[in-house]
């Protein structure tokens, strides 16, 4: 997810997307802990980065009003 797209999202949309990505990370983590192989390990890395981007933009929106 690109930062430009995140900046254009409303606060409610960011929160919804953040919840969706957190649920996706739970699925990835359960697959990893159960010993199953993940289709693409880069999905985990990209999901973590997207969560960080969303949290950062949410914090910026809260501080700027």
Q: Give the domain ranges of the chain.
A: 3-64
CA atoms within 13 A on the CB side of 38: 17
Over residues 20-34, mean pLDDT = 93
Q: Report which DSSP code applies to 35.
A: T
- Reply yes or no on whether the pLDDT at 14 is more than 90: yes
Share of the chain above pLDDT 70, in %: 98
Residue 12 C-beta-side C-alpha neighbours within 13 Å? 0
Q: Which of 2, 23, 17, 26 is nearest to 58 (CA)?
A: 17
**Which tens digit of pLDDT belongs to each residue from 28-47?**
999 989 988 888 889 999 99
The residue ranking higher by pLDDT, 20 or 41, is 20
Running DSSP on this structure, what letter comes out for residue 37? P
Collapsing DSSP states into helix, strand and coil, what is residue 61?
A: helix
pLDDT bin (cut points 50, 70, 90) of residue 55 is very high
3-64 CATH: 1.10.287
The pLDDT value recorded for residue 51 is 96
């Amino acid at each position: 997810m690109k930062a430009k797209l995140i900046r254009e999202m409303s606060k409610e949309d960011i929160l919804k997307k953040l919840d969706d990505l957190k649920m996706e990370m739970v699925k990835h983590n359960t697959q990893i802990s159960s010993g199953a192989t993940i289709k693409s390990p880069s999905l985990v890395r990209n999901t973590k980065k997207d969560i960080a981007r969303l949290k950062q933009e949410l914090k910026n929106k809260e501080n700027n009003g």
